[in-house]
Amino acid sequence: LYTAPDSCEGRCGEPLSEGDECHCHAECGRHHSCCEDYARHCQPGGFSRSRDSITDQELLELSEQLYGLDHNKARPSDVAINPQHRAAPGETGLQQDLSPQPLYRYVNEELFSKPTYSSFIKLLDNYQRATGREEEVTVEELREQENFLEEVMGTELMKKLFAFLHEKNRYSSEQEFLEDLKEMWFGLYSRGDGEQDSSGFEHVFSGEVKKGKVSGFHNWIRFYLLEKQGIVNYLSHNFDGPWDTFPDVLGLQFSWDGFHKEVGSAFIGSSPEFEFGLYTLCFLARPGRACHLSLGGHSLSIQTYPWTKSTYGSGRRFIATAYVMSP
């Protein structure tokens, strides 16, 4: 049961929002704003039941629960960052190094020996970063994908997410959820001229270069490892979240082998399963729209977009991008 911005599939009874392309609330008829498939899905006997929609309140409550279940996140003593220069709105596109020191002062690399971290890190070098270049997936890389998914699905955090989605009739079994995660995140599609050159995982976590600019690349572990090698150069930040523990949120500017990222964003100090789980939740619940969550009593939003030019299964969408929004 995927939701889509222009469909009522999985959205019946969802609150009216001006930001939505069309609506699936019982009042939409009066406002002449119903999605075309409102009657098919939401009228009596329709495919999607209103009790299976995911409410804004449920997203706030579930995200707090997932935040509490991120047992593998960094402790305050595990990570020390040095944000340095805070860029004004007019400075984010300057491509100037306004922060001469690295972003990361210290990371306790013992974190990376935890199973979800180590299996995640093995995936990062599986991709050609340039769009337009066909990805060649080896048997070993497929095994690494399976291993990562197996490790994250073994965590309390992902089991809680599955239980919620199961209750909402999105998936009938954990195996069905696992298979769909594999497709939505690792399934290949073309950002170029027909080459199978991209996937949601590559874009969000590993990063890509498109038309001379960094595209995606929203992961703190990837950033730290490349900065340590001298491949990434931190320039400045435009947002530092209000959290006094991890995961924190940082909006940042950087260059990757000379390719510029004008405004990026990343959770800092979160486990791979935490990001993977939150992005998945928001992609299923609010694709193409802001997904409003709560972490440790602080509000934040995640934006996801589905890839609209190709599908898998019975019309399901791949993940085009997902990132935490920085004001």
Q: Please identify which of the residues 23, 203, 210, 237 carries the catalytic annotation.
A: 203
CB 267 within 8 A of CB 220: yes
182 annotated active-site:
no
CA distance 195 to 132: 6
Question: What is the C-alpha separation between 133 and 113, in angstroms, rounded?
Answer: 32
* Concatenated DSSP letters of 171-192: -SSHHHHHHHHHHHHH--B-SS
Q: What span, in angstroms and rounded, lies between the C-alpha atoms of 252 and 281? A: 24
With both helix axes pointing from N to C terminus, report the angle between 174-186 and 156-167 in degrees, rounded to the nearest 10.
100
Instruction: Decide: 146 and 154 in contact? Cβ < 8 Å.
Output: no
CA dihedral over 264, 150, 108, 248, signed as positive or negative: positive
Distance, CA of 299 to CA of 292 (rounded, Å): 7
* Bridge-based pairing state of the strands 104-107 and 248-256: unpaired
Q: How far apart are CA 250 and CA 14, in angstroms?
A: 31
- Which one of 261, 292, 298, 309 is the catalytic residue? 261
First to last CA, the chain: 31
The verdict on whether 114 is a catalytic residue reads no
DSSP 293-307: EEETTEEEEEEEEEE
Q: Which residues contact 176 (CB under 8 A, 6 or more apart)?
A: none
Q: Residue written as tokens 């469909």? A: 7
Q: Which entry of 23, 41, 73, 218 is annotated as an active-site residue?
A: 218
Among this protein's residues, is 31 annotated catalytic? Answer: no
Known catalytic residues are 203, 218, 261
